[in-house]
Chains A and B, each alone.
Chain A
Amino acid sequence: MFPWLSVLIALPAVGAFGVTLLPKGADELAKRFALAVSTLVAVLTVVMAFQFKTGGARFQFTESYWWIKAFGVHWAVGADGVALVLILLSVILVPLVVLASWNDAERSGGASENPPKRSVKIYFALILALEAMMIGVFASTDVFMFYVFFEAMLIPVYFIIGSYGGPQRSYAAVKFLLYSLAGGLLMLVAVIWLYPLSARPVAAGGLGHPSFLFSELTHLQIEPTTAKWLFMGFFIAFAIKAPLVPFHTWLPDAAGQAPAGAAVLIVGVLDKVGTYGMLRFCLELFPGAARWATPLVLTLSVIGIVYGAILAIGQVDLKRLIAYTSISHFGFITLGIFAMTSQAQAGATLYMVNHGFSTGALFIVAGFMISRRGSARIDAYGGVQKVAPLLAGTFLIAGLSGLSLPGLSSFVSEFLVLVGTFSRYRVPAVIATVGMILAAIYILWMYQRTMNGPTAPAVSAMKDLSRREVVAVVPIIAIIVALGFFPKPILDVINPSVKQTLSRVHQVDPKPTVADQLIKTGARP
């Protein structure tokens, strides 16, 4: 079998290395090269995705080789429906980000007094390196390998924010790093703890040999107290990454200071590693502990939904506003994961994808605006629609998807999360639905302040989208609309994986209440 996933990880990694070898000053070449590599990766992934059999084995395209035999570590990759759609999200966004941030590396830095020297080619090399790690993290079926990618992703992101970000980039980069490292260390302890547990003899609940393979670890018998500790180790790392309130304050700084293209990848993809990790590892490796922690996580999720939305309303900076809306949306995702019904989890998974696209589009268009106006402050704009209708139109569609307008992709996922949550936990679902009203306020108020009203003098000469920019943003808009009306194909891919997860945590969907009564009264439904 063709080693699809290893190739997909290697290709951008080699590409990143290749970009660094280009001669100094060959910036244009570096950009084109990065675009070519990332497009190739996207095309290959799509080809691979078409060979995914929805009725087939859970993990497909699997490979497994010894990596560090002494520790029982494998290079093991494979993709189930959840991983597949997240890999697709990543590889589709990267070429569009490259295209959207074509001129950002030269221009970035904002109003810093002492702009450091920035290498254009390094920026694109970092993006490609990040792509390799993103694919790797979703494709890993070995927990240790997952951890390595999980931590390694910090490096390119740290340098992108720290070198190419806005005026407060250093502060934002260090904050991002400290948060992530703190979480990563907790997870590391948990990962290492798995080693002795798996090495125990089978009779003692172990595997008889050390292993980090996901497929083997699910057979571990872990005593409840230990499982709770391990769960917390993984969960806090993921909650910081996602981020879940109260671990969220790094995100507005990171997204606000990062160049817009990198913000797309940080908020659109990297944060999904957190929610993906919860769904995959927290639930399936420690099902009992996950059920134990459910009330807490649901509470934090609902707080996040409302609190993030209220904070978004109060923001004065475009990118920070979008970051806070994401905190609200991540609340929906974690709510869906821990509600543990098939609708809620499938909705949460689809939400990860849809949020990546719609927030990606918002950041990209916001980036276009900021690069023209030189400011991310909302009050620096006004009446942009009059001078740049196309830009305003794409911003509006992305925004409407952000407020989950039916007919656009986010609606399906948000609705599924709510339906799935409501069937088991009524009150959290109803409070979460309030987020819908707040979303209308933060999106439309932002749109009104930037796009409507009389044209501000400072933006009166603003150009509409260039051809390159149209190409960067139109595919995302098309996906948002298509998934809004035809969510079935992608949900069909996600459903079987979710079913597995649910059976691991021993949860079945609640029955419709009327069906119960029909059974009780003996009537046929």
Chain B
Amino acid sequence: MKAEGIQAASWLLIALPLAGAAILLLGGRRTDKWGHLLGAAMPLGSFAVGLAAFFQMLGYSGNARIRHLHIYDYFVVGNFKVDMGLLIDPLSISFVLLITGVGSLIHIYSIGYMAHDPDRRRFFAYLNLFVAAMLLLVLADNYLGLYIGWEGVGLASYLLIGFWQYKPTAAVAAKKAFVVNRVGDFGLSVAILLMFATFGTVQFAGVYGGIGHASQGTVTAIGLLLLLGACGKSAQLPLQSWLLDAMEGPTPVSALIHAATMVTAGVYLIVRSNPIFNLSPDARLAVTVVGAATLLAGAIIGCAKDDIKKALAGSTMSQIGYMMLAAGLGKVGYVFAIAHLIAHGFFKAGMFLGAGSVMHAMKEDVNMRKYGALRTVMYITFGTFFLGYLAIIGFPGLSGFFTKDGIIETAFNKGGTSGAVLGTCAVLGAGITAFYMSRLMFMTFFGEKRWDDDVHPHESPLVMTIPLMLLAIGSVFAGGFLVLGGFADFLAPVVGAQEHKFHWVSVPGTVTLLLMFAGVALAWMQYGARPVPREAPRGSFLTVFARRDLYGDALNESLLMRPGQWATRLAVYFDTKGVDGLVNGLAAGVGGSSGRLRRVQTGFVRSYALSMFLGAALVVGALFLVRI
């Protein structure tokens, strides 16, 4: 159905932040004074439009909640027609509210966080660009539009990771993020090519309408290619290596892009493409395997990091692993994937911003071994962080409890060996999560002071702490609100209706709870009850393994980078000595030695050229004479 009323103005959602980015970038230094205010106002405006569209949607029922808004014809070539349009449905509106809501809070926080940065205006321009691209990603009604948004957020991520580009590490991390993502984009691109070849269209409606007629092999191929794309954007194995390096960006970026929104785009892609995955058990299985492997890998990495942001980044990988696992389980899984995604958006953004607040207090030091006892000086940061912490470890009654336990239960309900294996991974992951988050908590806020002498921590200004408080409220309530409040029914028009009842007490839930307490206790024994050394101990084989990101980079380097460098060198040598040499040799045979060719004087070259032309003219004439 066509969008009406305020929903017909949904293009404003994207246009506002896009205009913000354009004004701030083109306006240059003239906009320095008020640029951050404009930058923060734009996502707020989008949030208002999103809310209005959301309430209008609640007024409809069932499939009437799916609305289309045609924007313009992108192009028509042969039988290939791409309509740029927006799809306003329960799934996309959920993302719109998350992106603009959490996004606005992070913009506001950044006013304070970036107050002393000379390039604050440029920072807000990039953030606005990100919000616009992310909204296009989730609102587009076709895969090409989605792809434009997909690459747009990649660009924003590149610009923001490398925001302090004068630091070589930041510049390298930005490039790495983009290149690794491109590997994923390769999958998404080929998926789109295959869709066009199969269905003659890339509009969602056309693809999903024809999917039932496509062969099983094609459906699975599309599913696996989409999964490759999702792995890149969402930092899932084997394309996970960029996310930890992406922490080089300013902390609000880590919160917005590399925790709450962009990195979850892969989950969106899979849930959005549910008609494809529903028809391919093999593709779904691949999604669950990737999710389960990453949730464990991320959690293990999180255990060994002393850098507070990298510990949180490992955690993000792991939590997105949970979402992927859920998405691969299909049906009820889609609902829990999105519910966990939204809940995670709140608590992880809150904790990242909390980490930023701590870093501000600690003179930008990120080493948790030099923190300690910060609860005594930063009450608000500590309090909000603590709520986020309880939410992520799945403390009963808070967000994570509802959404994560839902995923674990759904995994076991899958049945069979695969269900048992996946469920066990998820339960183990919950225990490890409790351990590494408690470790982070104890090292940062508890224990004795291990601060450097010139560090005098203080609470951050209100412009930073108010967003923290609002996000903390979301961390506490979002999960329960969604899971108990009928989110499954809300999403039903997109992912299909399902019977689901939340069990407050269940066997997997109880085991999870026990493991959670075990994880907290273990962390307490190691980092709470005992003093934390300021220098990291050498650690066991396993610790080193985790510190090195499970040797992901080493693997990439030895398997891809080194051979790539050799291939490049070989190709350059081959081209100059081989191909070019051969041709020069031929030329030498015609026009004298190749050495003479190089040393040839300008005047000589001229006469040489002219004689060539004369020769050519003679040949022309001769040929004509012969023919006529």
User: For the complex, what is the distance from the CA of A371 to the CA of B583, rounded to whole Å?
Assistant: 32
In the complex, B172 has a CB within 8 A of chain A: yes
In the complex, A36 has a CB within 8 A of chain B: no
Q: Chain A 43-70, CB within 8 Å of chain B: the 1/0 string? A: 0000000000000000000000000000
Shortest beta-carbon distance, A234 to chain B, in Å? 16
Chain B residue at smallest Cβ distance from A249: B580
Question: In the complex where A71-B624, A174-B605, A192-B624 touch, is A440 in contact with B568 (Cβ < 8 A)?
Answer: no
**A491 touching B77, Cβ below 8 Å:** yes
Q: Report chain A residues within 8 Å CB of B623.
A: 188-189, 192
Q: Report chain B residues within 8 Å CB of A347.
A: 77
Identify which of A195, A342, A517 contacts B77 (C-beta below 8 A).
A342
Question: In the complex where A453-B166, A487-B74 touch, is A171 in contact with B624 (Cβ < 8 A)?
Answer: no
Restricting to B567-592, which residues have a CB under 8 Å from any CB of A?
567-569, 571-572, 575, 579-580, 583-584, 587, 590-591
Q: Chain B 588-623, CB within 8 Å of chain A: the 1/0 string? A: 001100000110111001101100110010011001
User: For the complex, what is the distance from the CA of A358 to the CA of B302, rounded to whole Å?
Assistant: 43
Question: In the complex where A249-B583, A419-B80, A422-B193 touch, is A514 in contact with B166 (Cβ < 8 A)?
Answer: no
Identify which of B166, B182, B608 contacts A436 (C-beta below 8 A).
B182
Chain A residue at smallest Cβ distance from B146: A406
In the complex, B75 has a CB within 8 A of chain A: yes
Q: Report chain B residues within 8 Å CB of A151.
A: 616
In the complex, A83 has a CB within 8 A of chain B: no
**B572 touching A314, Cβ below 8 Å:** yes
Q: Chain A 104-134, CB within 8 Å of chain B: the 1/0 string? A: 0000000000001000000000000000000
Q: Report chain A residues within 8 Å CB of B79.
A: 342, 509
Chain B residue at smallest Cβ distance from A158: B609
**A406 touching B186, Cβ below 8 Å:** no
Q: Report chain A residues within 8 Å CB of B179.
A: 437, 440-441, 444
Shortest beta-carbon distance, A315 to chain B, in Å? 8
Question: In the complex where A246-B579, A314-B571, A514-B213 touch, is A419 in contact with B193 (Cβ < 8 A)?
Answer: yes
Shortest beta-carbon distance, B557 to chain A, in Å? 14
The interface-forming segment of A27-35, A177-185, A212-220 is A177-185
**B609 touching A386, Cβ below 8 Å:** no
Question: In the complex where A437-B182, A514-B214 touch, is A307 in contact with B78 (Cβ < 8 A)?
Answer: no
Restricting to A450-498, which residues have a CB under 8 Å from any CB of B?
451-455, 486-488, 491-492, 495
**B165 touching A452, Cβ below 8 Å:** yes
Chain A interface residue number, banded: 35 or more
**B200 touching A514, Cβ below 8 Å:** yes
The interface-forming segment of B148-156, B381-389, B430-438 is B148-156
In the complex, B11 has a CB within 8 A of chain A: no
**A440 touching B178, Cβ below 8 Å:** yes
**A429 touching B193, Cβ below 8 Å:** yes
**B568 touching A314, Cβ below 8 Å:** yes
Q: Chain B 306-331, CB within 8 Å of chain A: the 1/0 string? A: 00000000000000000000000000
Chain A residue at smallest Cβ distance from B210: A514
Shortest beta-carbon distance, A210 to chain B, in Å? 9
In the complex, B220 has a CB within 8 A of chain A: no
Chain B residue at smallest Cβ distance from A518: B213
User: For the complex, what is the distance from the CA of A116 to the CA of B604, rounded to whole Å?
Assistant: 13
Restricting to A136-189, which residues have a CB under 8 Å from any CB of B?
151, 155, 158, 162-163, 168, 170-171, 173-175, 177-179, 181, 184-185, 188-189
Shortest beta-carbon distance, A155 to chain B, in Å? 8
Q: Report chain B residues within 8 Å CB of A386.
A: 166
Shortest beta-carbon distance, B475 to chain A, in Å? 34
Q: Report chain B residues within 8 Å CB of A440.
A: 178-179, 182
In the complex, B196 has a CB within 8 A of chain A: yes
Question: In the complex where A171-B597, A185-B616, A440-B179 touch, is A488 in contact with B74 (Cβ < 8 A)?
Answer: yes
In the complex, B525 has a CB within 8 A of chain A: no
Q: Report chain B residues within 8 Å CB of A341.
A: 78
In the complex, B199 has a CB within 8 A of chain A: yes
User: For the complex, what is the distance from the CA of A343 to the CA of B564, rounded to whole Å?
Assistant: 33
In the complex, B197 has a CB within 8 A of chain A: yes
* Interface of A (DSSP majority class): helix
Q: Report chain B residues within 8 Å CB of A454.
A: 166, 168
Identify which of B174, B183, B192, B194 contacts A437 (C-beta below 8 A).
B183
**A515 touching B196, Cβ below 8 Å:** no
**A170 touching B602, Cβ below 8 Å:** yes
**A448 touching B172, Cβ below 8 Å:** yes
In the complex, B141 has a CB within 8 A of chain A: no
In the complex, B543 has a CB within 8 A of chain A: no
Chain A residue at smallest Cβ distance from B149: A406
Question: In the complex where A174-B608, A429-B193 touch, is A451 in contact with B200 (Cβ < 8 A)?
Answer: no
Shortest beta-carbon distance, A473 to chain B, in Å? 14
Chain B residue at smallest Cβ distance from A424: B197
The interface-forming segment of A93-101, A271-279, A285-293, A410-418 is A410-418
User: For the complex, what is the distance from the CA of A177 to the CA of B201, rounded to whole Å?
Assistant: 47
User: For the complex, what is the distance from the CA of A456 to the CA of B200, rounded to whole Å?
Assistant: 52
Shortest beta-carbon distance, A437 to chain B, in Å? 5
**B198 touching A453, Cβ below 8 Å:** no
In the complex, B380 has a CB within 8 A of chain A: no
In the complex, B39 has a CB within 8 A of chain A: no
In the complex, B456 has a CB within 8 A of chain A: no
Restricting to B120-138, which residues have a CB under 8 Å from any CB of A?
none
Shortest beta-carbon distance, A110 to chain B, in Å? 14
User: For the complex, what is the distance from the CA of A454 to the CA of B164, rounded to whole Å?
Assistant: 10
**A513 touching B218, Cβ below 8 Å:** yes
Q: Report chain B residues within 8 Å CB of A419.
A: 80, 192-193, 196-197
Q: Report chain B residues within 8 Å CB of A445.
A: 175
Question: In the complex where A436-B186, A513-B218, A523-B213 touch, is A188 in contact with B74 (Cβ < 8 A)?
Answer: no
**A174 touching B74, Cβ below 8 Å:** no
Identify which of A433, A436, A437, A517 contacts B213 (C-beta below 8 A).
A517
Q: Report chain B residues within 8 Å CB of A492.
A: 76
Shortest beta-carbon distance, A472 to chain B, in Å? 18
Shortest beta-carbon distance, A522 to chain B, in Å? 12
Question: In the complex where A162-B606, A487-B74 touch, is A171 in contact with B147 (Cβ < 8 A)?
Answer: no
Restricting to B410-444, which residues have a CB under 8 Å from any CB of A?
none
Q: Report chain A residues within 8 Å CB of B474.
A: none
In the complex, A222 has a CB within 8 A of chain B: no
Shortest beta-carbon distance, A152 to chain B, in Å? 10
**B616 touching A188, Cβ below 8 Å:** yes
User: For the complex, what is the distance from the CA of A175 to the CA of B619, rounded to whole Å?
Assistant: 21
Q: Give the one of B77, B568, B569, B572 with max A CB within 10 A.
A: B77
Chain A residue at smallest Cβ distance from B580: A249
Q: Report chain B residues within 8 Å CB of A346.
A: 77-78
Question: In the complex where A162-B605, A174-B600, A419-B196 touch, is A311 in contact with B152 (Cβ < 8 A)?
Answer: no
**B587 touching A433, Cβ below 8 Å:** no
**A163 touching B602, Cβ below 8 Å:** yes
12 sampled A-B residue pairs with Cβ under 8 A: A249-B575, A342-B77, A406-B147, A422-B190, A422-B196, A436-B186, A445-B175, A513-B197, A514-B200, A514-B214, A518-B213, A521-B213
Taking A415-B144, A486-B72 as given, write out 9 further A-B residue pairs in contact, using a Cβ cutoff of 8 Å, ordered by the A residue number.
A116-B602, A174-B600, A175-B584, A175-B597, A310-B567, A411-B148, A437-B183, A512-B197, A513-B197
Binding site for B on A (CB under 8 A): 71, 116, 151, 155, 158, 162-163, 168, 170-171, 173-175, 177-179, 181, 184-185, 188-189, 192, 195-196, 246, 248-249, 307, 310-311, 313-315, 341-343, 346-347, 383, 385-386, 400, 405-407, 411-412, 415-416, 418-420, 422-423, 426, 429-430, 433-434, 436-437, 440-441, 444-445, 448, 451-455, 486-488, 491-492, 495, 509-515, 517-518, 521, 523, 525
Binding site for A on B (CB under 8 A): 72-80, 144, 147-148, 150-152, 155, 158, 162, 165-168, 170-172, 174-175, 178-179, 182-183, 185-186, 189-190, 192-194, 196-201, 210, 213-215, 218, 564, 567-569, 571-572, 575, 579-580, 583-584, 587, 590-591, 597-598, 600-602, 605-606, 608-609, 612-613, 616, 619-620, 623-624, 627
The 6 closest A-B pairs by CB, nearest first: A342-B78, A512-B200, A452-B171, A249-B580, A422-B193, A314-B568
